[in-house]
Amino acid sequence: MTAAGASLLEGLAALEGEGLAAIREAGDPEALESARVDFLGRNGRLSDVMRSIAGVEPEVRPEVGQRANAVKTALSEALEGRAEHLAADVAAGPEELVDVTMPARRRWIGGVHPVTRVIDEICDIFSDLGFSRVEGPEIESVWYNFTALNIPLDHPAADTMDTFYLDDGVVLRTHTSPMQARVMEAYQPPVRVMVPGLAYRRDSFDPSHAPAFEQLEGLAVDEGIDFIEFRSSIQHFVREFFGKETKSRFRPAFYPFTEPSAEVDVSCTVCQGSGCSTCKRTGWITIMGSGMVDPAVFEAVGYDPERYTGYAFGMGPGRIAMVRHGIPDMRLLYEGDVGFLEQFS
Ligand code: DAH
């Protein structure tokens, strides 16, 4: 072996060692690529050696050439292995790349909608008085929505309940009261139920109306229920829900399915009765329609009106939530705007 050949072989050994080390230490695909260019690239160190082979004696060229090819294979295999390793690291997630100084994302905490909360609280209060909670269909027959409740379609009471007819005799219910008839048909007295749910009317969406809105119905039927039990149950609810100081009053009203009927007002919880914009300067806020169940309804569902009496009431939990939180526009309750709703959670 000539001196030139020997020094080329030494150079190749050093090149192999350094090349393998550079590949092993490459921490990401860019570093690995630059190691490849340094050692195996067209103008890299191995190409330099290849070019100088031409200058050594012909008898040592084959040996030096074989050695150079062996180094090339070793480096190429090492490159491939390292590339696979780095790719697997990327797929597994860049553990070392977590930036612990980055501000954390806020944890999303859901909340109960203010209307749902009103419904839940009212149902809880009535649950202490023996009422269970049931729900019913939003698509309702004319029979349950009007006829069984003693509302003839040509009666003025039906005018306020213009609704969406889906088919002959099928409507989107205009109130939750049809569940009174459904419950009484399904169960014998004593009956005490609360019925939350959506009701629909041909109303435009404005600050105090929505074409689809929540209602909460109550019904109690048994032997011997009188007006005093009715009134004291409602007063109990008012004190529990609005506060001990809140006063309530019954005003005569008319509903075809109750006789006598009353609208229930509570002293304004915002101004305590002195008069403000929430109570339209009257000092009172109407919270429900109610009354003693009309015997005609008992007859429609097959209850004996001589034996049973009861009371019923219906309220708008949306309006109650508006009063409770001082919400000026009903549409806010139905827009699903998280920025607005978050303040109640
Ligand atoms: N259903 C009536 C409405 O939507 C509200 C109502 C009034 C319900 C009196 C009742 C009741 O149960 O007794 O306007």
**Predicted local confidence at residue 131, as pLDDT:** 98
User: Per residue in 3-18, is it b (16+ CB within 10 Å) or e — as a string?
Assistant: eebeebbebbeebbee
**Predicted local confidence at residue 48, as pLDDT:** 85
- Interval 337-344 mean pLDDT: 90
Is residue 140 over pLDDT 60? yes
For ligand 1, atom 5: residue with the closest CA: 314
What tens digit of pLDDT does each residue of 156-172 get?
767 767 777 787 889 99
Q: Which of 312, 298, 314, 313 lies closest to 148, judged by CA? A: 298
Q: Which of 179, 311, 176, 288 lies closest to 232, judged by CA? A: 311
pLDDT category at 106 given cuts 50, 70, 90 is confident
pLDDT category at 96 given cuts 50, 70, 90 is low
Is residue 101 over pLDDT 70? yes
**Predicted local confidence at residue 240, as pLDDT:** 96
Q: What is the DSSP string of 31-59?
A: HHHHHHHHHHSTTSHHHHHHHHHTTS-TT
* Cα–Cα dist 329/202, whole Å: 18
pLDDT category at 86 given cuts 50, 70, 90 is confident
**Predicted local confidence at residue 134, as pLDDT:** 98
Report yes or no on whether pTM surpasses 0.75. Answer: no
- Interval 236-263 mean pLDDT: 95
Tokens linked to 97: 């790349």
**Predicted local confidence at residue 94, as pLDDT:** 57
For ligand 1, atom 2: residue with the closest CA: 314
Q: Which of 121, 129, 343 lies closest to 243, judged by CA? A: 121
Q: Out of 144, 174, 175, 203, give the residue to mutate to test ligand 1, the one with the largest number of ligand atoms within 8 Å of its CB.
A: 175
**Predicted local confidence at residue 248, as pLDDT:** 94
Give phi and psi for 165, each to the nearest 5.
Answer: -85, 125
Residue 165: its H or E element? strand 165-167
Tokens linked to 2: 């000539």
pLDDT category at 93 given cuts 50, 70, 90 is low
Q: Which of 185, 213, 184 lies closest to 198, judged by CA? A: 213
Tokens linked to 274: 């002195």
Give phi and psi for 293, each to the nearest 5.
Answer: -55, 130
C-beta 290 within 6 A of ligand 1: yes
For ligand 1, atom 7: residue with the closest CA: 289
Neighbours of 158 (CB within 10 A): 17
Q: Out of 213, 290, 292, give the residue to mutate to test ligand 1, the one with the largest number of ligand atoms within 8 Å of its CB.
A: 290
pLDDT category at 242 given cuts 50, 70, 90 is very high
Q: Which of 177, 174, 156, 152 lies closest to 165, judged by CA? A: 174
C-beta 173 within 6 A of ligand 1: no
C-beta 145 within 6 A of ligand 1: no
- Mean pLDDT for all residues in the chain: 90
Residue 22: its H or E element? helix 3-25
Q: Which residue is associated with the tokens 């080329």? A: 8
Atom of ligand 1 nearest to the CA of 314: 8
Say if CB 309 and CB 303 are below 8 A apart. Answer: no
For ligand 1, atom 13: residue with the closest CA: 290
C-beta 291 within 6 A of ligand 1: yes
Atom of ligand 1 nearest to the CA of 315: 5
C-beta 255 within 6 A of ligand 1: yes
Atom of ligand 1 nearest to the CA of 291: 13
